[in-house]
Amino acid sequence: MKRNTDKPVKITEVCLRDGSHVMRHQFTEEQVRTVTRALDQAGMHYIEVSHGDGLGGSTLQYGKSLVNEMKLIEAAVEECQQATVAVLLLPGIGTVHELKQARQLGAGLVRVATHVTEADVSAQHIQFARELEMEVCGFLMMAHSAPVQKLVEQAKLMESYGAQAVYVTDSAGALLPNEVRERIRALRQSLNIEIGFHGHNNLSLAVANTVAAIEEGATRIDGSVRCLGAGAGNAQTEVLLSVLQRMGMDVGIDLYKMIDLAEDVVGPMLPGPQEIQKGSLIMGYAGVYSSFLLHAERAGKKFSIDPRDILIELGKRKVVGGQEDMILDVAAELAKAKSEV
């Protein structure tokens, strides 16, 4: 396995993990092998393979995987001549047990993900990954929803636990380029480790935000081929690489091979077009989780309120996953306010 330390920017392809949401976690082993092989041959640096919600995510709550993710990780490792297989772990969903298993199968990098204000729950997993001699990154999700100072404070926690990089994770695709710049800059000033950026395309800004992050010094970047990721998908890898080449940045990945695999390998797998449609757009605009959409529609019907008004209010209140019961409360409040006008 090649070390990626010589690259100006290290790319992690997430279509086999973030894309798992779009595939409703029904990736077959053959699909994972085919995509991984093509990515590895193109020179991709890291290939993330896990349930969409990370190790251990295959549950009734988050969606059952068709194939046990350990089998998929093992298959991906077997296909890699040079790339490193990465896994995602959300403490509370995945455990050190699964991390150890993934490590034994050959995963070389783990990203330990928490809500942007809850970095403290990552301590044990980051430390354990270091003991396993894995590369380990912190992943601060919904990074748009915390003030910059809070983000910095949380990233420093992850650094103190032993993370070798921390990602600004724009889970809802809600950040604007200037907001990305501000965050990356603040982290660069306060941390001694690498900074990463993971962007979603809900506001059609994922590639531009990623470029902005790189310009500010981020050295770890995520992309998904053909936008195969949650919401409106991620920064489209083959497009991002085209832009980086246009900027004169060579990251050592073969652009033509990436374009071909996007067209011939990943394209035919897409269950539907990865366009920015009503749901994903409002998710980015309001800055909320996609899981809120259905709840807001139901609450909107019940209280005769536009579900978008509910989502925007939830975004303002920075409601997080697990607080879905607040959606009805917010809808009721909005209905009351409306009736009093």
Structure letter (DSSP) for residue 28: -
Q: State the nearest-atom distance from the C-beta of 284 to a copy of itself, in Å.
A: 7
Catalytic residue among 21, 25, 125, 144: 21
Q: Is the dihedral of CA 298, 301, 306, 309 positive or negative?
A: negative
**148 part of the interface to a copy of itself, by CB under 8 A:** no
Q: Give whichever of 68 and 245 is closer to a copy of itself, judged by the CB atom.
A: 245
* Residues 181, 208 contacting (CB under 8 angstroms): no
What token pair was written down for 137?
Answer: 């990154």
CA 127 to CA 125: how far, in whole Å? Answer: 5
CA 189 to CA 184: how far, in whole Å? Answer: 9
Q: Give whichever of 149 and 245 is closer to a copy of itself, judged by the CB atom.
A: 245
> Which residues pair with residue 197 across a beta bridge?
168, 221
Separation of first and last alpha carbons in the chain: 65
Contact pick of 245, 250, 302, 338 for a copy of itself (by CB under 8 A) = 245
Cβ-count burial of 192 within 10 angstroms (0-12 exposed, 13-18 middle, 19+ buried)?
exposed
**248 part of the interface to a copy of itself, by CB under 8 A:** no
Q: Which stretch binds a copy of itself (CB under 8 A): 130-138, 161-169, 257-265, 330-338?
A: 257-265
Structure letter (DSSP) for residue 118: -
Q: Give whichever of 87 and 314 is closer to a copy of itself, judged by the CB atom.
A: 314
* Residues 203, 251 contacting (CB under 8 angstroms): no
> Residues with Cβ < 8 Å from 104, sequence gap 6 or more?
none
Q: State the nearest-atom distance from the C-beta of 234 to a copy of itself, in Å.
A: 11
Q: State the nearest-atom distance from the C-beta of 183 to a copy of itself, in Å.
A: 16
Q: Give whichever of 278 and 339 is closer to a copy of itself, judged by the CB atom.
A: 278
Best CA proximity match to 180, nearest among 223, 214, 154: 214
Burial pattern 287-300, b for ≥16 Cβ within 10 A else e, equals bbbbebbebbbebb
CA 307 to CA 262: how far, in whole Å? Answer: 35
Contact pick of 35, 80, 281, 334 for a copy of itself (by CB under 8 A) = 281
Q: State the nearest-atom distance from the C-beta of 207 to a copy of itself, in Å.
A: 4
**311 part of the interface to a copy of itself, by CB under 8 A:** no
**205 part of the interface to a copy of itself, by CB under 8 A:** yes
Question: Under rule CB under 8 A, which residues in 64-123 are in contact with a copy of itself?
Answer: none
Say if residue 17 carries a ligand binding annotation: yes
CA 181 to CA 218: how far, in whole Å? Answer: 10
Say if residue 200 carries a ligand binding annotation: yes
Q: State the nearest-atom distance from the C-beta of 216 to a copy of itself, in Å.
A: 14
Contact pick of 130, 132, 185, 285 for a copy of itself (by CB under 8 A) = 285
Cβ-count burial of 308 within 10 angstroms (0-12 exposed, 13-18 middle, 19+ buried)?
middle
Q: Which stretch binds a copy of itself (CB under 8 A): 2-10, 59-67, 190-198, 261-269?
A: 261-269
Q: Give whichever of 161 and 197 is closer to a copy of itself, judged by the CB atom.
A: 197
Q: Give yes or no: 21 in active site.
A: yes
Say if residue 198 carries a ligand binding annotation: yes
Residue type, 180: V
* Residues 285, 312 contacting (CB under 8 angstroms): yes
Contact pick of 132, 177, 252, 332 for a copy of itself (by CB under 8 A) = 177
Q: List residues with catalytic annotation.
A: 21
Q: Would you list which residues are annotated within the binding site for Mn(2+)?
A: 18, 198, 200
Binding footprint of a copy of itself on the chain (CB under 8 A): 176-177, 201, 203-209, 211, 226-227, 235-236, 238-240, 242-243, 245-247, 256, 259-260, 262-263, 267, 272-278, 281-282, 284-285, 306, 308
